[in-house]
Structure 1
C-alpha cells in the first residue's frame, strides 16, 4: 500500500489533502466548478454588465451545482430527490442558486460537446422548471414535468440499495471495521478520544436511532473511526467517518450505522444583511437543511469536535447524487428543467402565497424576444463560463508545474 495514502495526522495530512484537491479539480472543467465555490462568488461580485434582482430573503443552498442534488431518504424510509449538500447555506438571494445551477449545467453541456444554442435552450428550460414550482402549492407543483433518464435510473438504484451496498461503496467492506487506505486515514489519539466523547453525548447518540427500524432507546457503541478523504472543495477540512453498533444484537445490517462528521466553516455565499441566522456554523447548516431539504435536515445535528464546529448525519443506502456524464440534446433539456424544479420547490416551500407571486413576476421581467430566460441570468452564465474556462486552464497549468517540480 502506498504511504501517500496513509499519512499520519502529524506528518503532512493537510498538505496531502490540498494536493489531492488540486488534482481532483484539474481532472475536468465540471470538477473545477464543484471545487470552486469561493471563486464563483468572487467572479459573480465582479460582474458589472448586469444587475441581479433582489429575491426574497430565504434559505438558499449557496453551492447549487448538479452534484449537490440527488435522492435523499428520511427516517421513515421515503425517498425524494432534494438538495443534498448544505455546507454553504445562508439566508440570501435565491438568484445565486439559479446562477450556480446554470453554470454547472452549462459546463456539463460543454463537456458533452453540446452547442451554445443548446445551452441557451437549457437556460430556458431551467427557468420553466424553476417557475413551475411556484404555480401551485409547492409540494404538488411540477407533476407534469418529465424526469430525465439519469434521475429515473438513480431513483431506481436508491430504492434497491441496502446496507451492504452502502458498505461496499463507502467503506469497501461489509465487516464492522473501516479499512485504512486511499479513502480512510488513521486518526490521532486525540481525535479518537474526541469521537468517543462525542457519541457519549445522549443527544448525539440518539441521531443513530432515528430510523423506524431501530429502537429509540437502543445503546450506541463506537466500533471504528477514521479520517475520511472525501469531497472536493471540502478537502482539507476535518471529516471523520464513524462506524456505530446500534443495539445489543450482532454487528451487521440494520445494527450498523455509518456516521459522517464534517467540519462546518463560514459560508462563502453572501447572506442578506440584517437577517437572523445561527452564529454557529454547524447550527446554520442544520437549520438551512431543515428548510431546503427536510428529508436530510431531520437527520442532522450540530455539535463541537475538538473545539471545532461540526455537523453530523447518518449516511443511508438511498443517499446518492445525480451523475451526469454524456448529455444528449433531449436529456440536457430534461435535466435542466427537472433539477431546477427541485431547487424551485426548496425555495417555494419557504414563501407564502404573496411572496411567491411577487417573485414570479420578478422572474418574468427582463426577457427578450429571442430568449425566454431573464437577461441577467444569460449574461451571468456567459461571463462566468468564460471566467471559469480561463480559471480552469490556469489551475491545470499551475498544478502541472507544481507536480513537475516535486
Structure 2
C-alpha cells in the first residue's frame, strides 16, 4: 500500500464512525418514529406541484386508468415495462465500463405488462409539466404528436431511429454534466461531505444495531461485494469494507420503505475517490403496475426489479443485485457520479416537442429490444391505427391523457386540502 493510501486509511480510522452533521442525534427520529414522519414528508412532497403529485401517485394512476378506459386500450406485446414511466425516472446512466446513455433509471414498478401503460404515463407526466410551465393546449397537442412519433421511431426504419442522436437542450445539458462528474460531485451532492462518513441530519438518520449488523453481513456476501469491485479500474480482488451507513430519507413514492446509504471502501484507499463507493439499498415491494396474468415473473420483488432492469435498462441492470435484509427483499446498487435524473419540471415551448420525441424514443427502444421483428411490426401497426384528422397520435393515447390529467388535477387539489393546509 502506498504511503498516501496508508495516511488515508489512518485518517479514516482516527475519525468517529458516525458524524452528527446537521444537528445532534437527540433531534433525530428514533427508528420507531420513522413511518409517521416519512408518510407526512411524502404527502408534502406530492403537494408541491401537480407534476410532483403525478410522479408520487402511481397507484392512483392505474386505478384511474381502469376507471376511465377499462379495456379500451390496445393489448400490447407481453414485455417488461417500467410501470412508472414519468420524466424523473429517465436520465443518464453509466455502465460498468464508464459509457453513459439516457435510459430508464427507476424500475421499482417494473412488470411484464402492457407497453401502452408506459407511453400513457410518460405522456401524462409531460403534459402536466407543460401545464405547470403555462404552455398552451395547442403546444400539448403537438407534444403528444411528437411523443407518438418518437416512440414509433424505435420500431421503424434505421433512418427514423437515427433522429435520437439529436438531443434536446435539457437532455444535452444533463448528459454534458453526467460525463464530467466525479466522486467529489457525487459526495457533495448526496452526502454533502468529502470525508469518509455519512453526516446524520435531515437526509440521513441513525440505524438500529440490527440494521447495521445486517448491512455488514450483506457486504460480506461475495455476490454483493462484487458490485463495487466490478467497475472498470477497480481491483477485482479488492477487500470491501463498510465505512459508514445510515437510513436514507430519499425519493417520494419510496418514502416509508427500507432505504439505506452505505459508504464502502475498496482495497483500503479511501483517500482516492475511485476506491470509495456509495451504495443504495432499497426495499423491493409489490408493484402497483398491472402485470399480464399469464406472464412468468420472479415472485421475489427484488429479483423482479433486477430482472426488469436487465431487459429495460441494461446499463443499470448489470449494476444491481437482489438480496434479503431484515427478512425483506432489497435491491442493492452502487450510485455512480454519472447517474442523473432529468429535471423537466418546467418546459420551454421551443423544446417541448423535442423533449417529448426524445424521451418517447428512449422508452420505445427499451421496449423494442425485447421484441422480435414480427412483433415490432405488429405493434407499430397497432400504434398507427385509427388516427383522426385533428391529432397525429393514437386516439386512445390522447383520450387517456386528457382524462387522467383531469383526474389528477382534481386529486391534487384534494390532496393539498387534506395534507398541506396550514403548512408554511
Please classify the TM superposition score into its range, dividing by the shorter chain length. Answer: over 0.9
1:7 aligns with 2:32: no
Instruction: Give 1:326 shift.
Output: 2.9
What TM-score comes out, normalization by structure 1 length? 0.96
1:131 maps to which of 143, 146, 152: 152
2:330 maps to which of 310, 321, 341: 310
Q: Quickly say closer, same or farther: Cα 1:143–1:4, change in 2 above 3 A.
A: farther
Instruction: Give 1:402 shift.
Output: 7.4
1:110 aligns with 2:131: yes
Instruction: Give 1:147 shift.
Output: 1.4
SS at match of 1:282: helix
Instruction: Give 1:370 shift.
Output: 1.1
Instruction: Give 1:4 shift.
Output: 9.7
1:47 aligns with 2:68: yes
Determine the structure 2 residue equivalent to 1:24. Answer: 45
Instruction: Give 1:325 shift.
Output: 3.9
1:244 aligns with 2:264: yes
Instruction: Give 1:141 shift.
Output: 2.2
Structure-2 separation of matches of 1:109 and 1:3:
42
2:279 maps to which of 259, 265, 276: 259
Instruction: Give 1:136 shift.
Output: 3.9
Structure-1 separation of matches of 2:206 and 2:50:
31
The 5-angstrom pairing of residues 313-352 of structure 1 reads: 313-352=333-372
Structure-1 separation of matches of 2:336 and 2:133:
31
Structure-1 separation of matches of 2:341 and 2:254:
16
Determine the structure 1 residue equivalent to 2:375. Answer: 355
Q: Deviations over 1:313-335 (max 9, x none)?
A: 00000000111143222210111
Q: Quickly say closer, same or farther: Cα 1:364–1:165, change in 2 above 3 A.
A: same
Q: In 2, are the aligned partners of 1:187 and 1:227 still within 8 Å (CA)? A: yes
SS at match of 2:219: helix
Q: Quickly say closer, same or farther: Cα 1:290–1:101, change in 2 above 3 A.
A: same
Instruction: Give 1:142 shift.
Output: 3.3
Q: In 1, are the aligned partners of 2:51 and 2:345 still within 8 Å (CA)? A: no
1:212 aligns with 2:232: yes
Q: How many residues align?
A: 402
Q: Quickly say closer, same or farther: Cα 1:82–1:183, change in 2 above 3 A.
A: same
Structure-1 separation of matches of 2:423 and 2:65:
30
Structure-1 separation of matches of 2:24 and 2:153:
51
Determine the structure 2 residue equivalent to 1:119. Answer: 140
Q: Quickly say closer, same or farther: Cα 1:237–1:402, change in 2 above 3 A.
A: farther
Ranges in structure 2 where 5+ consecutive residues have no aligned partner:
1-22
Determine the structure 1 residue equivalent to 2:110. Answer: 89
Instruction: Give 1:146 shift.
Output: 2.7
Instruction: Give 1:400 shift.
Output: 3.0
The 5-angstrom pairing of residues 132-281 of structure 1 reads: 132-136=153-157, 141-143=161-163, 146-281=166-301
Q: Deviations over 1:335-373 (max 9, x none)?
A: 100000000000000001000000000000121011100
Structure-2 separation of matches of 1:72 and 1:256:
19
SS at match of 2:357: helix
Structure-2 separation of matches of 1:359 and 1:221:
48
Structure-1 separation of matches of 2:27 and 2:90:
29
2:57 maps to which of 6, 15, 36: 36
Q: Deviations over 1:115-154 (max 9, x none)?
A: 111111111000100001111469x923466311000001
Structure-2 separation of matches of 1:18 and 1:2:
23
Q: Deviations over 1:232-275 (max 9, x none)?
A: 01100000000000013344300100000000000000000111
SS at match of 1:104: helix
Structure-1 separation of matches of 2:419 and 2:73:
34
Instruction: Give 1:191 shift.
Output: 0.5
Q: In 2, are the aligned partners of 1:64 and 1:98 still within 8 Å (CA)? A: yes
Determine the structure 1 residue equivalent to 2:101. Answer: 80
